[in-house]
Structure 1
Amino acid sequence: MDQQQILARIAEMVDAEKTLRESLASGAIDEATERARLGALERDLDQCWDLLRRRRAAAEFGGDPGAVRARPAAQVENYQS
């Protein structure tokens, strides 16, 4: 997956997040469904942002961005700020 594909995937997920919030507001889904779907979406977004940052860093510092792979969600989710 190249940088443009990652950014396109992020944009898709942001749109999906908006749709979920609109569905909750309109009563089309309940809060439990929204929470479950948003949780999965947020994990996927975190993975994409992590992958994008690491690929950019590899390119900046002479590495091969194509060799950088997505990390498991559990690893990305347990980062400390």
Structure 2
Amino acid sequence: MAGFEAGAEREILGHITEMISQEKELRDRLARQEIDEPTEHARLAGLETELDRCWDLLRQRRARIEAGQDPGEANVRPASEVEDYLS
């Protein structure tokens, strides 16, 4: 079971890493004037929301593990719920 859980965490972290790379690429494309600012901002907003949801899922899973609960029962929450959190 521990191997499966570590694999799920690696998958989530891999997705986060991929989205961070996409953010960097968007900023680079803007700097090279391949896209305009409104396009960059719209795409970044979507990536940031998805990143927030992934980080939230990862935190849920880790909290469940610490509490001796099944991390597989953690769920991706709606963007509207995750975006209302205060850091």
TM-score range with shorter-chain normalisation?
A: over 0.9
**2:38 pairs with 1:32:** yes
**Offset at residue 80 of structure 1 (A):** 2.3
**Offset at residue 2 of structure 1 (A):** 1.2
Q: Aligned-residue CA RMSD in angstroms?
A: 1.1
Letter matched to residue 19 of structure 2: M
Select which of 46, 49, 59 maps to 2:52. 46
**Offset at residue 13 of structure 1 (A):** 0.2
Letter matched to residue 59 of structure 2: R
Letter matched to residue 49 of structure 1: W
Distance 1:60 1:80 in 2: 22
Letter matched to residue 78 of structure 1: D
Aligned pairs, how many?
A: 81
Q: TM-score, normalised by structure 1?
A: 0.96
Distance 1:38 1:73 in 2: 14
Q: TM-score, normalised by structure 2?
A: 0.90
**Residue aligning to 2:81:** 75
Letter matched to residue 20 of structure 1: L
Q: Unaligned stretches of 5+ in structure 2?
A: 1-6
**Offset at residue 27 of structure 1 (A):** 0.2
Q: Unaligned stretches of 5+ in structure 1?
A: none
